[in-house]
Amino acid sequence: MTLRLGDTAPNFDQESSIGPINFYDFLDDSWGILFSHPADYTPVCTTELGYTAKLSDEFKQRGVKVIALSVDDVKSHLGWINDINETQATQVDFPILADQDRKVSTLYDFIHPNASATATVRSLVIIDPDKKIRLIITYPASTGRNFNEILRVVDSLQLTDQYKVATPANWQQGQDVIIVPSIQDVTELEERFPKGYTVIKPYLRLTPQPNHH
């Protein structure tokens, strides 16, 4: 099954490091991040999960629930979590799915046979409160993910869902954003963007981030 942006994220029941999980029940009405790992006790994954744990407050501020996946069993996960906490000086506070039967990996297309017949690639999906897939990003197993970029994308998605704007290249919180080209009426522009805007080209208009003070 190949998932694309805008598709409904498949629901599932699976064992995890905190007990059985129904994915929709776990997400409730929050944003969600599901990300896969090739295996337990692997060096790159250890640093990734540790860094994700350190970002716990950042995810909570944004209303995002994080859940990881590896194809090893619960007992292995629990031992690995101890290693992560020790080596990364943090406390893993999110569940790791024990996807031994590859059920979730198959549902979310996390196994790429030409890369590895059994291990998942380093994939990550962002899911909105309507259970729609909003981002899919896949790294090779040898390259650790940039979780600051994941936070940046969440910020952009939440901002652009609320206002008729888009975010430019390398945008960070607090920087100017782009007014979508579909808004042309001057009165509507003034109402929506009381901070004013700058016309670079008719199709490229910048305005201060609407929800940033």
Whether residue 82 lies in the annotated active site: no
Q: In terms of domains, do 121 and 44 share one?
A: yes
What is the total count of domains within the chain? 2
Residues 74 and 139 in one domain: yes
**Which candidate in 9, 27, 45, 84 is catalytic?**
45
Q: Which long-range contacts (CB under 8 A, 24 or more apart) does 110-114 make?
A: 110/36, 110/69, 112/138
Segment 150-198, tens digit of pLDDT:
999 999 999 999 999 999 999 999 999 999 999 998 899 999 999 999 9
Looking at the structure, tell me whether residues 54 and 104 fall in a common domain: yes
One domain, residues 139 and 187:
no
110 with 174, same domain: the answer is no
Nearest CA-CA partner of 196 in 180, 178, 213, 208 = 208
Contact (CB, 8 A) for 61 and 49? no
CATH number of the domain that residue 65 is part of: 3.40.30.10
Residue 139 lies in a domain: yes
Of 38-47, 79-88, 103-112, 113-122, the one with minimum mean pLDDT is 113-122
Rounded to two decimals, what is the model's pTM?
0.90
Q: Which domain holds residue 45?
A: 13-145
Are 189 and 179 in contact by the 8 Å Cβ rule? The answer is: yes
CA 184 – CA 167 distance, rounded (Å): 18
pLDDT of residue 1: 60
* Residues 199 and 173 placed together within one structural domain of the fold: yes
